[in-house]
Structure 1
């Protein structure tokens, strides 16, 4: 989901430059965010075997996808990847579907699989933010935009629903509140439970904040535990909101504290300041064009990716160990960021 959000400026550049109808082929894990992206006209949801997904598909289903793409007669395919991914499986799908123009970054010579090929020099020569990477890709075919912000849309009705749910959950929206988002898609990105609790207790006790522990329905147990350990002033709202409502919740929050996951990019897309507890897995995905504080820390050697490109990062970029941030580091970052942005976003 975060990857798709970061591709929005590049998608916008294509839309503004060529005025096409844009269909996004994405996974079930990302598809939920599509209704909030106005630049996208249609979506095809398919969990391909080279993308992390909840379930494994049967191999023959790929031929069904190829046939569907062929029937829709697309003029071009743009393949967005992070630098540790290989675009050629997706390029083969586009090739078999008869899509005549196919654009992607690639390290090896793709020959006929790509008609437009941008040599991928990351991360060995340089590293850029994922948004910049995607923009540079579409710039190579003449697609440009002056608006490089991330953006997600929600209705005013959704805003009202969120306020009602907060009140029903025991939150007073008229008093200061913050979001603590502890849930992660990968265990190696987890931030220690006791430090979440210590930071929450300090912000409640010294600054009078209400702390909302957020997460998916599957994370309800862990969020409930964090709220219980924190005590008065903390409440778990995990599983309470739909994705659209969650976007609206983050939009209304004065600040979000989160591990490096899709929540960070939602915050950037609705202009909410964010403190990121940033496990060093990929340097491309820090908050984009939004006030932020990034607190990096190393992950255990045993949990690091086996991907050789990511291994290069640990040898070159992340070679010096970074300790896990303390609870007081979070408190200091929150205090500083709120002071810096006090005139930008009203604390509700």
Structure 2
């Protein structure tokens, strides 16, 4: 069964989600690339496409906001047929469908089938019969829950694709550091002094952490640690400016200041990232920057991977909780556990501890740190 995969020269990876989802699939994509020495094309959403050029193992990108995944775009039914025709013309040898356990893989599986891709690999709860050539019955989350990275690596391992190390693949454009440094200096931040990033922005409102609690935590960090705080986010400049004003001290707003490539460099150079469960925590994992996560009770398999980190949890308002029965099952199990809560006091306490540890390891705030 593995022998036919070793003959593959063009593999399509279907991962039409957000930036963080694509980053978590990079170890598995790397395994495919290294094992089969093949051309890798990834089907991504318009959101995920932003980070795709920074992933070395990806040779080509096809961008489409498919209707079975929550994205910013709206897809017309005709686009599905057009996409299948385009994929058919690409003459792929195999397709690998990456999914979260709460997603229905069938639309992506059907897409690969209609594109007449000979080998098709995916997890699926139902028997897909001829829609998949390589079917792995999906036991998550009812039997166990794995980290998304492990889930994806186990998927490709079924066809013989393995990788020696499972760190995320992400290019850091260090040549952009002088530009990033200049922008920081214009804001008034001193990069040679302790500084951390606060990233309150979310892609889904149910993951939003209360502004008032961000402010309380920020004030305590600034007061006790004499630390500079940099508030990042790509669009909500009014909220970031208000937060900066409320926290006071050496706090700076960089909302809308950095593009994605610059943000990657920025996170690489900071001492600590404090963020909600969003793409930034996976960027921090990729560049090995310590991260403190305020984690909404949503997807427990999406915590930071292979990096110094701590996770504090907060609940999702009942009105915003998912109607997906799989997600609800996990939430009910998750909510009953004794979890460290993301209170402002605990956020400040853990942030100050992690900053102290990061400073001790790096010895400098001017150069990127190196963790053991």
Identify the match of residue 40 of structure 1 among 58, 76, 91: 58
Aligned twin of 1:86: 104
The CA distance in 1 between the partners of 2:321 and 2:195, in whole Å, is: 35
The CA distance in 2 between the partners of 1:322 and 1:208, in whole Å, is: 29
**CA deviation vs aligned residue, 1:227-251 (integer Å, no higher than 9, x gap):** 1111231111011011100111101
Aligned twin of 1:229: 246
Aligned twin of 2:326: 309
Shift of 1:302: 2.0
Aligned twin of 1:338: 355
1:247-262 to structure 2, matched below 5 A, reads: 247-262=264-279
Are 1:328 and 2:351 counterparts?
no
**CA deviation vs aligned residue, 1:6-64 (integer Å, no higher than 9, x gap):** 00000001111001100000000110001110011110000000111212121111111
TM-score, scaled to structure 1: 0.96
Are 1:280 and 2:297 counterparts?
yes
Shift of 1:324: 5.0
The CA distance in 2 between the partners of 1:67 and 1:56, in whole Å, is: 19
Could you tell me whether the CA contact under 8 Å between 2:234 and 2:255 is conserved in 1?
A: yes
Are 1:200 and 2:186 counterparts?
no
Q: Taking structure 1 as reference, are residues 323 and 152 closer, same or farther at Cα in structure 2, changes over 3 Å only?
A: closer
Could you tell me whether the CA contact under 8 Å between 1:297 and 1:321 is conserved in 2?
A: no
SS of the aligned residue for 2:127 comes to: coil
- Unpaired runs of 5+ residues, structure 2, are 1-18, 367-372
**CA deviation vs aligned residue, 1:130-175 (integer Å, no higher than 9, x gap):** 0000000000000001110113112222122111111112211121
SS of the aligned residue for 2:307 comes to: coil
CA RMSD of aligned residues (A): 1.4
Which shifted more, 268-277 or 170-179? 170-179
**CA deviation vs aligned residue, 1:214-263 (integer Å, no higher than 9, x gap):** 1112x222111111111231111011011100111101111000011111
Could you tell me whether the CA contact under 8 Å between 1:298 and 1:323 is conserved in 2?
A: no
SS of the aligned residue for 1:24 comes to: strand
Identify the match of residue 244 of structure 1 among 261, 267, 278: 261
The CA distance in 2 between the partners of 1:249 and 1:195, in whole Å, is: 24
Aligned twin of 1:266: 283
SS of the aligned residue for 1:317 comes to: helix
SS of the aligned residue for 2:95 comes to: strand
- Unpaired runs of 5+ residues, structure 1, are none
Shift of 1:340: 3.7
The CA distance in 2 between the partners of 1:325 and 1:265, in whole Å, is: 19
Q: Taking structure 1 as reference, are residues 117 and 55 closer, same or farther at Cα in structure 2, changes over 3 Å only?
A: same
Equivalent pairs, count: 347
The CA distance in 2 between the partners of 1:3 and 1:62, in whole Å, is: 22
TM-score, scaled to structure 2: 0.90
The CA distance in 1 between the partners of 2:350 and 2:211, in whole Å, is: 18
